[in-house]
Amino acid sequence: MHEHTRESQPCAGAPMGSTMSRQAGTGRLRLAPSPDTSQPRSRDRPIRVVLADDHPLMRRNLRLLLDNEPGIQVTAEVADLATATSTVYGDPPDVLVLDLGMPGGSNVDTIRWLREQVPDTEIVVLTMDDSPAFAEQALNAGALGYVLKDYADAELGPAVRSTSRGEEHLSPRVAEQLDALRRSVVGDALTARETEVLRLTSLGYTSAEIARRLHVSRRTVETHRARIHRKLGLTTRAQLVRYALRHSLLGA
């Protein structure tokens, strides 16, 4: 378990309970901010959770898992983005467990929109994607938890509890990779996303494969590659591989 506590400070123009550290985005969906009718959760009240995942078997397993966790109550299950946003907006839970691969365009922009519209609901991303750059993107958008589906049995309950207290929770594997990624970008002024593109390029991934893995367009990947070559002064893939090896970007 990897946790950090965020200090809660009211955002200008947002209901109490949101934090200055989260960036209010400009999601495509547009609704007036949800009225602040929430009350601070007492210790006697269970943590209210909405599960958002488009796979019925996964939702059933997650429901069974959380139903066996004392002090946690699953209030709704949803299978698509439209239902997820309307459910959370209509009756904000304490925690939303969100699969970013649902139909309807569920992605990082969804996190930004929800953080803007329903700031009292914490978000735990549940995903198969262990990319540290994608994890950082989700966290920067406002998610407080990032749990890999392969480890949900052991980590989802603790993640829900941690995030309901305003504490960050990352799957240990992602936390380690993210720490290494953040350390590696300091020296040569590469962004986290550029460093991830460099790592995947060095491992032999094509631009199209990187685009699918990072949930961006191929053109965006090519732009990152051009910036990497310019910043590092390297021109060939062999040079990039040597750089990645020197900076321990390729893992074990």
Is 3.40.309.10 the CATH number for 45-175?
A: no
Q: Compute how many other C-beta atoms are within 10 angstroms of the C-beta atom of residue 142.
A: 24
Count of positions (residues) in the chain: 252
Dist CA 165 CA 155 (whole Å)? 16
CA–CA gap between residue 34 and residue 175 (Å, rounded): 32
In this structure, which topology does domain 189-246 adopt according to CATH? Arc Repressor Mutant, subunit A (1.10.10)
Q: What is the pLDDT tens value at each position of the chain, 252 positions in all?
A: 555 544 433 333 333 333 333 333 333 444 444 444 444 555 679 999 999 999 999 999 999 999 999 999 999 999 998 999 999 999 999 999 999 878 777 678 889 889 888 988 999 999 999 888 888 888 878 898 999 999 999 999 999 999 998 888 999 999 888 877 766 654 557 888 888 899 999 999 999 999 888 887 788 888 888 888 877 878 788 888 888 887 888 865
Residue 60's pLDDT is: 95
pTM of the model: 0.61
68's tokens: 């066996």
Strand 145-148 with 167-170, pairing? parallel
The answer to whether the CB of 169 falls within 8 A of the CB of 147 is: yes
In this structure, what DSSP letter does residue 126 have? E
Chain-centroid distance, C-alpha 201: 23
Read off the tokens for 204. 């032999």
Residue ranges per domain, the chain? 45-175, 189-246
DSSP state of 237: H
